[in-house]
Structure 1
């Protein structure tokens, strides 16, 4: 029986460790029949080592989403491994420590701009860089964290995610005529390396299993990954500009 992503060629960003949401997306995508090209930044030897733990080997390209030269050459570098792509996972976000942890009123613009560049603008930048590789029926999926609330200690990353959710709607508007869908998955708090870098985040994470109607497992990356793979497949052909919540229903209930 063919998998959900049989024959799909996907570009996956954001793998750092096996706990990365992007790693779970990559693993499940391969299990569902996809061929992958991965990107990493900074610790390339680590990314390459983690990539070897996937079910099938996949090439790894270096990509700094804030580097114009990296973005400009992305399509040509991907073509060395695939003649095109059918989907992109944007799993990139970063903010300096000064932009997190309750420092909101004192954060300098230099730190805020870094958070917005990496976590918000890069969504449009990556989509634009990948556009020459994609045709009608393509899908771009990004990861967010519910930006309708002001979370303790999330601070300027929360602002950046709000920008990401708005950028997703605009990207859907402008890429719709190309036949390309753009959607986000809003995951509940998951114990990834990125989550561990947010000081004090465990304070609001603790409430999740009790308040979410379906409960919540902080170590369950597969539920989020499955949603991403579904959106990367052909099973949502008329859905774009959407934010799909995978949080146990936490966003839907009051205190």
Structure 2
């Protein structure tokens, strides 16, 4: 019997099978959860094909977290498959690599910065509030961050967006706590995901992690991160909220 036995989980932001969202959906199913996944636009077709590679093919929802109409209809869309949700995973981020990444911090235009903040940070609140009618005490929201305590080479405005995400998590923890719902983030190390490929010079991150993480680090192995997300979705962290759990081989705790 798995730690998510009987739980209903929405994983928002699954594209390829090399994504953290996909790995999380897989581990969640292996741990007994009924899983729904989502994507939108041109990526939706890819997600529907990729969904067949999970242990059990899950329903795939059409959800753009910047679309107010789709957010308003999300609860009804979920109810077509399950009668509620016990957990929500926010595995969503976007920043235009041509304008706000790769050393373009001083030149980044507000329109693209605003898009990155809305998609990567504000949408944690948007997705959560859209799911609230489906959730109750014991519910868990888990998002994905990349350590925003420092400035990373090439990460630029996406780093700012992650800083906003981390702050958003704390305020969600404050406001969801009285409802018995937790909100936490997992800060993963450098992983070879679709999002990472959009960051100019990301291979430097991989080299750093492999050299400095005391537990070692494999940038192609998504399972440790997925297992941590699943643990936070479970009942094993009943009084943990507003937290950022690092899953990076210990890199964040090391000095130069």
TM range (shorter): over 0.9
Give the drift of 1:187.
0.0
Partner of 1:53: 53
Residue equivalent to 1:168: 169
Shift of the alpha carbon at 1:204? Answer: 2.9
Matched, 1:198 2:180: no
Deviations 1:66-87 (A, max 9, x none): 0000100000110000000000
Residue of structure 1 in register with 2:19 after alignment = 20
Q: Give CA deviations for 1:81-106 in whole Å, capped at 9, x if unaligned.
A: 00000000000000012110000000
Report the 3-state secondary structure (helix = DSSP H, G, I; strand = E; otherwise coil) of the residue aligned with 2:224.
helix
Cα distance, 1:245 vs. partner?
A: 0.1
Q: What is the 5 A alignment of 1:152-231?
A: 152-231=153-232
Aligned to 1:219, the other structure's residue is in SS state coil
Deviation string 1:90-130 (CA, Å, 9 cap, x unpaired) is: 00000012110000000010010010000000000000000
- Size of the aligned set, in residue pairs, is 254
Deviation at 1:201, TM superposition (A): 1.5
* Alignment partner, residue 31 of structure 1: 30
* Aligned twin of 1:7: 6
Alpha-carbon distance in 1 for matches of 2:54, 2:206: 29
SS of corresponding position for 1:105: coil
Unaligned runs of 5+ in 2: none
Q: What's the offset of the Cα at 1:173?
A: 0.1
1:41 pairs with 2:40: yes
Q: For 1:230 and 1:153, how far apart are their aligned partners in 2?
A: 31
* Partner in structure 1 of residue 74 of structure 2: 74
Structure 1, gaps ≥5 residues long: none
Instruction: Report the Cα distance in structure 2 between the residues aligned to 1:200 and 1:248, rounded to whole angstroms.
Output: 21
**RMSD of equivalent CA atoms:** 0.6
TM superposition score normalised by structure 2: 0.98
Report the TM-score, using the length of structure 1 for normalisation: 0.99
SS at match of 2:111: helix
SS in 2 for 1:52: helix
Partner of 1:239: 240
Moved more, 37-46 or 244-253: 37-46
CA distance in 2, matches of 1:17, 1:127: 23
Q: Secondary structure at the match of 1:140?
A: strand
